[in-house]
A and B are shown apart, each in its own frame.
Chain A
Amino acid sequence: MNLSSKPIVQVENIGMSFDATRALDNVDFDFYPGEIMALVGANGAGKSTLIKIICGYHSGYEGRILIDGREALISCPKDAYDFGIQTVHQIINQGVIQSMTVAENLALEELLSPDQPMFYDYKGIRKRAAEIAALMDLDYLDLDAPVFTIPQSDRQMISIARALASDPKLLILDEPTSSISEKEAERLFVTLKKLRDGGVSIVYVSHRLHEITRLADRVGVLRDGKNAGLLEKPFSVKNIVHSMVGDINHEPVKKEDVKADLSSVKFEARGIIVEEGGKPVDIKVHEGEILGITGLIGAGKSELAQVFFGINRPYSGKMFLKGNPYEPADIKEAIRHGVFMIPEDRSNNAVFPNFNIRQNIVAPFLDNFSNGLSIMNTGKERQEARRMIDSMTIKCESEEASIDSLSGGNQQKVVVARWLMVEPQLIILDEPFQGVDVKSRNEIGKYLRENIGRSGAIIIATDIDEVVDVADRVVVFNSGMIVGEQIAGEINKDKLIHWTAQAPEEILSSE
């Protein structure tokens, strides 16, 4: 790397808002030729927004982009492309056209170029495709196979090969290893290093911090839409995470606040294997206990929750509720047993946009509000909704206000209220603080702790702080298994961070 050289692409004071949400605020980065710059940040930190601005997907941003020192107007993907900026997006199937062949996908640029003859030049396309395939050692691919017949990982390699084919100045890779095998990842790393040495500037976005420590020359950190650090070599997983999460001014649960009754087990999962080939997981939740589960995205946390809530049947293993076998065939049965789940991604999975606050709150328990003829008792609904709005301090005009009129944090409170209206046996909260402001987050956490009573709760979050602030006990998931456990009062965040990010074999061998 040669930092004395001039940056090839600079972004200055970049800002972007979506409605009331400030996605990016005054962000600066310089990208130099011949370096791999990793871009990291928690979910919602603004990584994707920044990338989408650079590659021309979002127009209407604030600030400016300089290319080779001159201001460049990038208002559509074609502009970025003409400036030599190539992007491989995270969602693989957006990068390939599934109905076309491998050759056509590889040589897509040529195929769609206006210079193509009027009649399809099969041989020419195929020849060009073979050249592009060779860049990434993809010679084993059948050039005539339609892309929908080949594995996801090969599709990803095709996107990357195509991006490389146009000799980009700046190559952006968004989570490129999230769906390819380790061996393929190794091959990708070799290629990336070769490109870097050839003078290409590479922006590498990933949640896999151990990859970054190996591959990157510098690490840029985003937090809450702002620059939060620029790390130089040598970096460790620990200091990267510290920059991502920031100084911790939260209050983890204290030992004396733990009210769990450790003598009585509320819920137990014994040897649960979510999918064939997975590893068995054992989990216990006691009466009055809030168990936190943390781990990186893809560690298998949500998949486990889905088994507990009856969405999927486990491949093997047993579950018990208050000592009795618990085998929910579907969600309805889980709910009947008093096992509730607040799903991640509120707007897609939980909110009914056409319903008002009252209707959103009572949705799971309509039977409690209807008579023998199934006629709804709106008065009773309003009363209950009012009670939950007051006790959870949901800020709204009235229980009849539309759900859209609420802030993200208050919408989340509505979704939580929905499941705390009736006393649960076990309540699972999957990423309950996504898109929730700090104040609402604290209020929800506090409410849960104060009202847990004799129920059990599982709170799942990628962000360690979100778990530590609420849970009596924390377990860490990594690659589909539990790699460590800590209890309130004895929380060591550094250790938790290491557990989430290191390869599981290393953790287990070092313990």
Chain B
Amino acid sequence: MANVKVREFSIKWGFLIVMGVLFISFSILQPAFYSAGNLFNVLLSVCIFGTMTLGETFVLIIDGMDLSIGSTAAITVMISAYSMVVLQLSGVAAIIIVLLLGAAIGLFISFLIVKVKIPDLLATLGMMFLVQGLQLIPSGGLSIGTGAVLGNGKVAQGHFDEGFKYLGQGRVFKVIPIPVLIMIVIALLVYVILSRTKYGRIFYAIGGNPEAARLVGVNVNKYKVIAYVSSSVIASLAGILLAARVGRGDVGSQGTLLMDAIAAALIGYAVLGVRKPNPFGTILGAIFIGMLMNGLTMLSMQYFWQDFIKGCVLVAALAFTFGLSKKR
């Protein structure tokens, strides 16, 4: 009896307790950790993949998986740089172009999954590759910055729009970074949609039993399209934040974004023991990763340990979510 209670308690609160203990330990071991400036740094370090993972949540809820979001964010970086630096378009135009591009990628993925009937994991794996390659083509495989020499010998004359850069570098009241604010706004929006509206209910219904959803009158394919388009558009938005922060179009910008985003969402399953994709857990999962990296770096962990640690956290969280709850 007592055992059951202990298990139920740890399923529900275990993750948050671990997070709290880590936070306190870091603060004691390295007082600089516990400063407003550094805490915003933590948020700043997670806000790009944190935003992406909020989009991924839609797809995970309908029992799918989108592996292309890292590439979508990367192509957004390149195309927004290309629009402003090479084509000399305004920042607003660049934003509209890349968001439309994100929507187009999402639509194409949906087409592959819904119409061509490729399994989601494979369709998005293929698109990950395709988009990752596509981003290199406009600039001839080179990074794009003001003054860069393009493949045809011309020198790029344009520059990043100041307003555009503000999205990545600005701070409200000189404290709260804009991209963190954007992540929080999107998180609230996604939370309301998924937890409070009938659309959220329908997404969860499809994830629980797609056939039953179809038989209560849900157009399952329509919602699949909405999920994949949301995922891609939000990935583009994250790409905008990334481009705005670095202020140039780097060919290697995607880094570990995809892995971090998926890890955050999966770690989020463990929060409050809900065992399902949820925006609240997703954000906490992202912050958990960021806090851990920040804290360990401050305690002079070397950079090459990062991925290993993240992997350990992810495996532990999954074992916790699935292993403990299985015995219920």
The answer, among A355, A364, A369, for a CB contact under 8 Å with B208, is: A355
Contact bitstring B183-217, A, C-beta under 8 A = 1, else 0: 00000000010001111011011011101111111
Minimum Cβ distance to chain B for residue A295 (Å): 22
A193 at the binding interface (Cβ < 8 Å):
no
Cross-interface CB contact of A331 among B196, B205, B214, cutoff 8 Å = B214
List chain B residues, Cβ under 8 A from A364: 216-217
For A354, the closest partner residue in chain B by CB is B208
Check A354 against B207 for contact (C-beta < 8 Å): yes
Kindly provide the distance from the CB of A73 to the nearest chain B CB, expressed in whole angstroms: 30
A283 within 8 A of B: no
Interface centre among A335, A354, A373 (most CB of B within 10 A): A354
Q: Considering only CB atoms and an 8 Å cut-off, how many residues of chain A contact the other chain?
A: 28
Closest to A355 in B: B208
* Contact yes or no, B215 A350, CB < 8 A: yes
Residues of A within 8 Å of B205, CB to CB, are: 352, 355, 363
B276 at the interface (CB under 8 A from A): yes
- Minimum CB–CB distance for B312 against chain A, Å: 29
Residue A366 CB within 8 A of the other chain: yes
A366 in contact with B198 (CB, 8 Å): yes
Partner of A359 from the list B192, B201, B211, B217 (CB cut-off 8 Å) is: B201
* Bound complex: CA A328 to CA B16 (Å): 50
- From known contacts A373-B197, A375-B197, infer whether A349 and B202 are also in contact, taking CB-CB under 8 Å: no
Residues on B with beta carbons closer than 8 Å to the beta carbon of A352:
204-205, 208-209, 212-213
Tell me whether A113 is interfacial, beta carbon within 8 Å. Answer: no
Knowing A331-B214, A343-B215 touch, does A374 contact B198 (C-beta < 8 A)?
yes
- Kindly state whether residue A376 has any CB partner on chain B within 8 Å: yes
List, in ascending order, chain B residues with CB within 8 A of A348's CB: 209, 211-212
B198 touches A370 (CB 8 A): yes
A417-465: which residues lie under 8 A (CB-CB) from chain B?
Answer: 418
CB distance from B278 to the nearest CB of A (A): 12
**Min CB–CB distance B203 → chain A (angstroms):** 11
What is the chain A residue whose CB lies nearest that of B207?
Answer: A354
**Is A375 a contact partner of B208 (Cβ separation < 8 A)?**
no
Flag if A331 contacts B208 (CB, 8 Å): no
Question: With the chains together, A373 CA to B192 CA distance in Å?
Answer: 11
Please name all residues of chain A whose beta carbon is closer than 8 Å to the beta carbon of B219 when the two chains form the complex.
330, 332
CA distance A374 to B197 in the complex (A): 5
With A352-B208, A352-B209: A370-B216 Cβ-Cβ less than 8 Å = no
Contacts of B197 in A (CB 8 A): 370, 373-376
Closest Cβ–Cβ distance, residue A360 to chain B (whole Å): 9
The answer to whether B212 touches A351, judged by C-beta atoms less than 8 angstroms apart, is: yes
Categorize the interface residue count of chain B: 20 to 34
Is A366 within 8 A of B214, CB to CB?
Answer: no
Chain A residues whose CB sits within 8 angstroms of the CB of B211 once the complex forms? 348-349
In the assembled complex, the Cα of A349 lies from the Cα of B212 at a distance in Å of 4
A221 within 8 A of B: no
Distance of A401 Cα from B208 Cα, bound (Å): 16
Contact with A along B207-236 (1 / 0, CB 8 A): 111011111110100000000000000000
Also in contact, A353 and B208, with CB within 8 A (given A370-B197, A376-B196)? yes
Q: Could you tell me the distance between the alpha carbons of A408 and B137 in the complex, rounded to whole angstroms?
A: 58
Decide yes or no whether A23 CB sits under 8 A from chain B.
Answer: no
One of A330, A353, A369 near B198 (C-beta < 8 A): A369
> A167: which B residues are within 8 A, CB to CB?
none
Within 8 A of B (CB), among A325-362: 330-332, 334-335, 341, 343, 348-355, 359
**A369 CB contacts on chain B under 8 angstroms:** 198
CA distance A374 to B199 in the complex (A): 7
A330 to B222, CA, bound (A): 14
Question: In the bound complex, do residue B198 and residue A363 qualify as a contact, i.e. CB atoms below 8 Å apart?
Answer: no
Tell me, yes or no, whether A71 is within 8 Å of chain B by CB.
no
Query: Nearest residue in A to B200 (C-beta to C-beta)?
Result: A376
Q: In the docked arrangement, what's the CA distance between A351 and B208, Å? A: 9
A261 CB-CB contact with B under 8 Å: no
Query: Who on chain B is nearest to A369 by CB?
Result: B198
CB of A139 within 8 Å of the partner chain? no
Distance in Å: Cβ of A336 to nearest Cβ of chain B: 8
A353-B201 in contact (CB<8A): no
Contacts of A376 in B (CB 8 A): 196-198, 201
| Distance to closest chain B CB from A418 (angstroms) | 8
Separation of A335 and B219 alpha carbons in the complex (Å): 13
For A345, the closest partner residue in chain B by CB is B211
Q: How far is the CA of A311 from the CA of B219 in the complex (A)?
A: 12
Query: What residues of A have a CB within 8 angstroms of the CB of B198 in the complex?
Result: 366-367, 369-370, 374, 376
Residues of B within 8 A of A374 (CB): 197-199
Task: Report chain B residues within 8 Å CB of A311.
Answer: 215
Q: Which residues from chain A contact B215 at a C-beta distance below 8 Å? A: 311, 331, 341, 343, 349-350
The CA of A335 and the CA of B218, in the complex, are separated in Å by: 11
Closest to B199 in A: A374
Closest to B205 in A: A352
A366 CA / B213 CA spacing, docked (Å): 12
Q: Is the CB of A366 within 8 A of B201?
A: yes
Contact of A366 among B192, B202, B276 (CB under 8 A): B202
B214 to chain A: which residues have CB within 8 Å?
331
Shortest C-beta distance, A502 to chain B (Å), equals 33
Q: Which residue in chain A gives the minimum CB-CB distance to B192? A: A375
> Chain B contacts of A373 at CB under 8 A?
197
> Which residues of chain B are within 8 angstroms of A351 by Cβ–Cβ distance?
209, 212
| CB pairs A–B below 8 angstroms (12 shown) | A334-B217, A349-B209, A349-B212, A350-B215, A351-B212, A352-B208, A353-B208, A353-B209, A366-B198, A373-B197, A374-B198, A376-B197
In the A-B complex, the 5 residue pairs with the closest CB atoms = A354-B208, A366-B198, A364-B216, A352-B208, A332-B217
List 6 extra interface pairs beyond A348-B211, A354-B276, A370-B197, CB under 8 A: A350-B215, A352-B209, A352-B212, A363-B212, A363-B213, A376-B201
